[in-house]
């Protein structure tokens, strides 16, 4: 019998227990991805197995364990964090380089597991596309892939159960489109692809489609469920007790049935032979699709709801604009306090999080943060996904740059903003870095481009001023943002690391971040982030064009700018932006916050 370890166990003890479970099952390697049965970015505690086994708390990473090796693969955003958290555990940091087209852990397994051996990964959390890539690489080397084992269950005695937070309805005026209309949209797309059935696992797609929200995942107002959409009826598979009786009745009026979460696989197995099932191989797991009979035809395409929810309606865009005013007001109140308190009281990176969160909580419609606040002073700001903890954080004092990346979930919008402010006197080099990044932010924000252009292709516009200075950054420039949903939303992504697939096309109504950066490890980091909305820029003989409306409303600190590096048109853009910020935010603040707003939006 395998030993199941409590929360008090050490990382080496957990890895040893996993190796014992592997030996018992006769497998040579175990793969533990950062994933759940819904392929979520942020995971409910039950599926945070990679973190529990390794101690690395970053949101993305892959653990591989063999008899004599353990390693976690992470990209450059997490190198410093992983190096610190893995120290002394016996687990190696495996660095993923930007632009790699293949998954390096797959290559490593193919090269290091002996022919005739086997690799185990829980099929319930392994995406179909990932399973295919893994199986192809292993088969070529005579290595067997086993997806029938959940080794984590064998060693984690305190493993949490399914989250049980209640599901609630997202109603008017915040939700302007009816559930029945959204289901009709999806069914029309199914019909176009010749599919009678459609299976959805991604939580933000489900929340959008059914006009429901929940609290099962930190920072994302979603709930754990699957759905099977048929010609006339839809079934929502969700844990017992999560859907109140009145909500179940409301769903029933739209021909939506509620069934136990565990019955999703059975429903897939019962699909009629000869009919077609639409699935998105990037957004459903290998384990669940194994339940589908070979007599059922699979139609593989992106979830229609992923497209539909990315294109905000005119009403949703108006709600987001109002939310940005409230969020900007919260930021004005916070920065007014911060500048007044700096040097007069002890302020740490943890204080930043506490005070900024409190300011947002005072705003109407606030529900939660949209991600864990990043407040990084000087060297900590050079880690893009840094997180201060009670055990490790900096006091804000002396000279340097403070980077703050934060956001909120409101009933009528999701926000995400990064600002950098000077502490004491910033150096000439720090000002230069800040200004170069600002030029990148402005270059992309001002761009006009053909409708339908694949979003990764826009990345170079923001990088051009930074490349010109002989610098670069290791993360993408922009991600889609949901409407009171996930702060990271597809299908669009502005990143040259991402493939320019047809489904990444830019369309009117999409909300995306613009966030170039520049990081000097051990010194400081700069990132300036706004959210932008795709708007029509008119039609010419060459087709339809789009432009960005900047939605985020918060001053960009001009004390950090090297004015000699700005062109006149760049100064004009910044002055016009600050005038907009002042006009839109002023009605929502007073006293010190209003005085701060007026001071920080003066023209340059």
Domain ranges, residue 175: 168-309
Residues 238 and 193 in one domain: yes
Nearest to 207 by CA among 193, 217, 195: 217
Domain count, the chain: 3
Residues 179 and 143 in one domain: no
Q: For strand 225-229 and strand 256-260, is the pairing parallel, antiparallel, or unpaired?
A: unpaired
Residues 565 and 439 in one domain: yes
Whole-angstrom Cα distance, residue 323 to residue 248? 30
Mean predicted confidence (pLDDT) in 19-38: 95
DSSP class of 276: E
Res 158: pLDDT: 85
Residues 412 and 532 in one domain: yes
Reading phi first (left if > 0) and then psi (alpha if -120 to 50, else beta), residue 39 is in left
Residues 539 and 588 in one domain: yes
User: 1: pLDDT confidence band, cut at 50, 70 and 90?
Assistant: very low
Res 602: pLDDT: 98
Asked if residue 348 has pLDDT above 70, the reply is yes
**Burial profile 460-477: b = 16 or more Cβ within 10 angstroms, e = fewer:** ebbbebbeebebebbbbb
Residues 90 and 203 in one domain: no
| Domain contains 525 | yes
Domain final position from 279, 309, 339: 309
The dihedral sign for the CA sequence 225, 314, 311, 59: negative
Reported as a single tens digit per residue, the pLDDT across 446-493 is 999 999 999 999 999 999 999 999 999 989 999 999 999 999 999 999
Domain final position from 255, 278, 309: 309
| Domain contains 420 | yes
Residues 287 and 324 in one domain: no
Query: Tokens 């709801």 belong to which residue?
Result: 305
Residues 480 and 511 in one domain: yes
258 and 251 Cβ atoms separated by less than 8 Å? yes
| CATH number, domain containing residue 590 | 3.90.230.10
Q: Which of 3-7, 24-28, 93-97, 133-137 has the lowest mean pLDDT?
A: 3-7
DSSP 436-485: HHHHHHHHHHT-EEETT-BGGGGHHHHHHHHHHTT---SS-SEEE--SSS
Query: Tokens 């006293």 belong to which residue?
Result: 591
Domain final position from 309, 337, 362: 309
Angle at 301 between CA 295 and CA 303, to 5 degrees: 110
Report the 3 state secondary structure along 500-563: CCHHHECCCCCEEEECCEEEECCCEEEECEEEEEEEEEEEECCEEEEEEEECCCCCCCHHHCCH
Reported as a single tens digit per residue, the pLDDT across 295-345 is 999 999 999 999 999 999 999 999 999 999 999 999 999 999 999 999 999
Res 78: pLDDT: 83
| CATH number, domain containing residue 197 | 3.40.350.10
| Domain contains 142 | yes
**Burial profile 331-342: b = 16 or more Cβ within 10 angstroms, e = fewer:** bbbbbbbbeeee
Asked if residue 2 has pLDDT above 90, the reply is no
Please list the helix, strand and coil fractions of the chain in percent, rounded to the nearest 5, in that order.
40, 25, 40
Angle at 211 between CA 209 and CA 213, to 5 degrees: 110
559 and 425 Cβ atoms separated by less than 8 Å? no
Residues 107 and 219 in one domain: no
Res 4: pLDDT: 60
Reported as a single tens digit per residue, the pLDDT across 564-580 is 999 999 999 999 999 99
Residues 385 and 442 in one domain: yes
523 and 551 Cβ atoms separated by less than 8 Å? no
**Burial profile 215-229: b = 16 or more Cβ within 10 angstroms, e = fewer:** bbbebbbbbbbbbbb
> Which is more confident, 5 or 372?
372
Whole-angstrom Cα distance, residue 28 to residue 30? 7
Res 75: pLDDT: 85
Res 370: pLDDT: 97
| Domain contains 163 | no
| Token couple for 574 | 């910044």
Whole-angstrom Cα distance, residue 391 to residue 538? 54
Reported as a single tens digit per residue, the pLDDT across 166-178 is 999 999 999 989 9
Q: How many residues does the chain have?
A: 604
Quick check: helix, strand or coil at residue 94? strand
| Domain contains 162 | no
Reading phi first (left if > 0) and then psi (alpha if -120 to 50, else beta), residue 531 is in beta
In this structure, how many other beta carbons lie within 10 angstroms of the beta carbon of residue 441?
25
Residues 563 and 472 in one domain: yes
| Domain contains 5 | no
| Domain contains 174 | yes
Residues 6+ apart with CB under 8 A from 134: 31, 103, 106, 109, 119, 121, 126, 145
Whole-angstrom Cα distance, residue 338 to residue 581? 19
Asked if residue 98 has pLDDT above 80, the reply is no
Asked if residue 391 has pLDDT above 90, the reply is no
Asked if residue 3 has pLDDT above 70, the reply is no
| Domain contains 160 | no
What's the chain's average pLDDT?
94
Residues 582 and 532 in one domain: yes
Asked if residue 99 has pLDDT above 60, the reply is no
Give Dmax over CA atoms of the chain in angstroms.
Answer: 73
Nearest to 475 by CA among 512, 434, 519: 519
Report CA-CA distances (Å) from 495 to 125, 235, 338, 433, 443.
Answer: 26, 36, 33, 21, 15
568 and 590 Cβ atoms separated by less than 8 Å? no
Residues 6+ apart with CB under 8 A from 549: 532, 533, 535
Asked if residue 9 has pLDDT above 90, the reply is no
Res 222: pLDDT: 97
| Token couple for 186 | 């999806």
Task: Tell if the pTM clears 0.85, that is, is over it.
Answer: yes
């Amino acid at each position: 019998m395998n030993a199941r370890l409590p929360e008090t166990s050490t990382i080496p003890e957990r890895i040893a227990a996993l190796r014992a479970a592997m030996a018992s099952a006769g497998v040579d390697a175990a793969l533990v991805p950062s994933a759940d049965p819904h392929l979520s970015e942020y995971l409910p505690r039950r599926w945070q197995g990679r973190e529990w086994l390794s101690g690395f708390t970053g949101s993305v990473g892959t653990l591989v364990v063999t008899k004599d090796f353990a390693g976690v693969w992470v990209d450059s955003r997490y190198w410093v964090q992983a190096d610190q958290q893995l120290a002394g555990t016996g687990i190696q940091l495996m660095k993923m380089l930007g632009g790699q087209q293949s998954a390096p852990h797959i290559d490593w397994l193919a090269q290091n597991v002996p022919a005739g051996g086997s690799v185990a990964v829980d099929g319930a959390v392994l995406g179909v596309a990932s399973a295919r890539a893994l199986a192809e690489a292993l088969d070529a080397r005579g290595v067997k892939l086993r997806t029938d084992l959940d080794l984590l269950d064998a060693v984690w005695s305190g493993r949490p159960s399914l989250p049980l937070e209640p599901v609630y309805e997202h109603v008017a005026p915040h939700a302007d489109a009816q559930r029945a209309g959204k289901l009709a949209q999806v069914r029309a797309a199914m019909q176009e692809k010749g599919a009678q059935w459609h299976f959805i696992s991604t939580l933000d797609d489900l929340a959008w489609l059914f006009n429901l929200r929940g609290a099962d995942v930190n920072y994302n107002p979603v709930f754990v469920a699957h759905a099977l959409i048929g010609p006339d009826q839809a079934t929502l598979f969700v844990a017992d007790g999560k859907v109140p009786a009145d909500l179940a009745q409301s769903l029933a009026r739209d021909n939506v049935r509620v069934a136990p979460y565990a019955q999703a696989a059975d429903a897939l197995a019962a699909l009629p032979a000869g009919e077609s099932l639409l699935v998105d191989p990037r957004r459903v797991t290998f384990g669940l699709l194994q339940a589908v009979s070979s007599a059922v035809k699979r139609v593989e395409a992106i979830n229609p709801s992923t497209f539909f929810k990315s294109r905000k309606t005119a009403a949703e865009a108006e709600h987001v604009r109002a939310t940005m005013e409230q969020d900007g007001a919260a930021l004005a109140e916070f920065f007014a306090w911060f500048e007044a308190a700096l040097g007069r009281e002890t302020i740490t990176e943890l204080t930043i999080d506490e005070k900024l969160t409190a300011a947002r909580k005072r705003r109407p419609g606030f529900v939660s943060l949209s991600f864990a606040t990043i407040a990084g002073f000087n060297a900590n700001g050079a880690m893009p996904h840094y997180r201060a903890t009670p055990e490790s954080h900096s006091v804000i004092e002396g000279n340097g740059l403070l980077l703050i990346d934060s956001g909120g979930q409101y009933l009528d919008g999701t926000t995400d903003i990064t600002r950098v402010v000077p502490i004491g006197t910033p150096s000439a080099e720090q000002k230069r870095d800040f200004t170069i990044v600002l030029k990148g932010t402005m270059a992309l924000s001002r761009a006009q481009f053909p409708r339908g252009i694949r979003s990764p292709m826009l990345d170079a516009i923001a990088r051009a001023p930074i490349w010109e200075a002989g610098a670069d950054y290791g993360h993408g420039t922009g991600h889609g943002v949901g409407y009171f949903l996930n702060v990271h939303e597809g299908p669009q992504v502005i990143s040259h690391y991402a493939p320019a697939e047809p489904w990444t096309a830019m369309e009117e109504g999409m909300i995306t971040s613009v966030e170039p950066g520049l990081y000097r490890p051990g010194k400081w980091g700069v990132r300036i982030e706004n959210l932008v909305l795709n708007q029509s820029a008119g039609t010419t003989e060459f087709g339809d064009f789009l432009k960005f409306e900047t939605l985020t409303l918060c001053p960009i600190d001009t004390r950090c700018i090297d004015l000699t590096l700005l062109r006149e048109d760049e100064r004009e853009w910044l002055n016009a932006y600050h005038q907009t910020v002042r006009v839109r935010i002023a009605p929502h603040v007073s006293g010190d916050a209003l005085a701060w707003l007026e001071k920080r939006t003066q023209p340059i």
